[in-house]
A = this chain, B = another copy of it.
Amino acid sequence: MTLPSLARYLPILDWGRRYDRARFTGDAVAAVIVTIMLIPQSLAYALLAGLPPEAGIYASIVPILLYAVFGTSRSLAVGPVAVVSLMTAAAVGEVAASGTAGYAAAALTLALMSGAMLLALGLLRMGFLANFLSHPVIAGFIAASGILIAASQLRHVLGIEAGGHTLPEIAAGLIAHLPETNLATLALGVSATAFLFWVRKGLKPALRRIGLGPRMADIGAKTGPVLAIVATTLAVWFFDLGARGVAIVGAVPQSLPPLTLPALSPELVSQLLVPALLISVIGFVESISVAQTLAAKKRQRIDPDQELIGLGAANLGAAFSGGFPVTGGFARSVVNHDAGAETPAAGAFTALGLALAALFLTPLVHFLPKATLAATIIVAVLGLVDLSILKRAWAFSRADFAAVAVTMALTLTAGVETGVSAGVVTSILVHLYKTSRPHMAVVGRVPGTEHFRNVLRHAVETQPHVLALRVDESLYFPNARFLEDRLAAYAAEKPDLTDVVLMFPAVNEIDLSALESLEAINARLKEAGIRLHLSEVKGPVMDRLKRSHFLDEMTGEVFLSQHEAARRLAKTPPAAPEPARRSA
């Protein structure tokens, strides 16, 4: 393998050779800031995924390192994120009880399967598959997931035991256990939530007022959650709130990420197949849109297929080092980018920082109340809940609205997997429905020009014995018969018809169904004594038609332009007899 082709799969060979002191400084500063931000976030997302807190830190170390080697984005920060953690909890919760060794092992299996799928899709260059998740479906899914996540964390703020993976289940659990609310937990949880909401809105202006530059104020506000962690941990320790029933993080092992082996029973693998696929696709789509947004700012290029390989490697890393499924996170990547990360080495330095934290700082979070972590999650995910997509979609088209509404309704009431699958199916069906009734216009000549326009919108000239029909859609199986029906109707209505011209400037493709429909149309029109012509056929469509016998069988001609068709099909006045002309 030559170096250029190796560099395609190992982007590190490209940027690594140009690494220098200036880049090192930028990367190191970004790494310190991201590390401080990631410690509470990692603990919180582990809680959301139903795993012990250290799993969140482990899931941030090895995956970041592997992404630094294989990924193409200069600023993407990989690790646990809210939506993927929720999906992990939903999937693993189906096969094992939270808190058991089987649960943690199944989370590793999920990361392994997701990593393998991403890697396979990347090596097969099948990143386009992620496109079947349309923007409205993703937006609806993420908004609904945010609501689900926030609702699921309320139990930690209230200090009660309640479960559920859908909104009705969660609401029923909360209502049933509401009398058991722990007031000390509630006080801590509500204070932390209120403080964090203020951090989002008010800390940045406050930091600006005390003289920080806009970029530093922004970064300062992003690391604000650390303040809530420190304050509530101290409160629990000082007032001994653990004894009053406040749930705390407790003992966290002081260790580097352990080498772990995912469970691989055939039964488990088959149960996790669909969830792993959905997690892979959702994670990839989230990650690539963050990466592309940040890359565009520096005119850098993201290779979607190589990104699949990078994320695949990161997830395989998580599977063998005590983590769970990971992907590129929005908030952390933006902080990384804004703090001046120049290369993926920033990620490697962040991994180093987190490894040091895992070794030396874990005793400090012993008294950290789970309510604070829940508050961190609630405030973070409510930022994801953007219901304006419903309004936007409604205004733009009913079809897109249907896809969003189905995705949101089913995600909330039937769970994340059903929701996102139903969204994909709805958007495909809606597309097929729309293209199954293509826009077609009978056209006539705009007087004095060579232009042909819709007879219903313009005052145009038509010939009674010629029907010129412009087809505004590719012809393929869902709409092939529609054209047959329409032409059969026209032929039955117009007794004088002798020629039909199909105008194809907007027909980008013709499949075999459409070809056979055209053949049937040709044969039926022939039976009725009507000739079939085509005009303005595109190159690729013409190439395709030439691969069949249709053009030989067609009763009429293919005209380069509709103008030419109209001119040639005009009823020629009876020519003077040839001999007579010759003798003249």
Contact = CB atoms under 8 A, between A and B. Distances in A.
A138 to B, nearest CB: 9
A510 to B, nearest CB: 9
A446 interface: no
Contacts of A400: 511-513
Contacts of A474: 435, 473-474, 508
Contacts of A134: 476-477, 480, 511-513
Nearest to A539: B457
A407 to B, nearest CB: 12
Question: What are the 7 closest A-B residue pairs judged by CB atoms, nearest first?
Answer: A296-B524, A134-B477, A400-B512, A135-B513, A301-B492, A134-B513, A135-B516
A406 B182 CA distance: 60
Interface of A: 128, 130-137, 288-289, 292-293, 295-297, 299-302, 304, 392-393, 395-397, 399-400, 427-428, 431-439, 472-474, 476-482, 484-485, 488-489, 491-492, 505-506, 508-509, 511-513, 515-517, 520, 523-525, 527-528, 538, 540, 544, 547-548
Given A527-B297, A528-B299, A506 B505 contact: yes
A399 B509 CA distance: 12
11 contacts: A128-B481, A132-B432, A293-B520, A297-B528, A299-B492, A301-B488, A396-B512, A400-B511, A428-B432, A472-B538, A505-B505
Given A296-B523, A296-B525, A431-B511, 9 more contacts: A128-B482, A131-B477, A135-B512, A136-B512, A289-B520, A296-B524, A299-B491, A397-B511, A506-B506
Contacts of A478: 128, 131-132
B302 A488 contact: yes
B432 A508 contact: no
Contacts of A523: 296
Nearest to A393: B512
A349 to B, nearest CB: 26
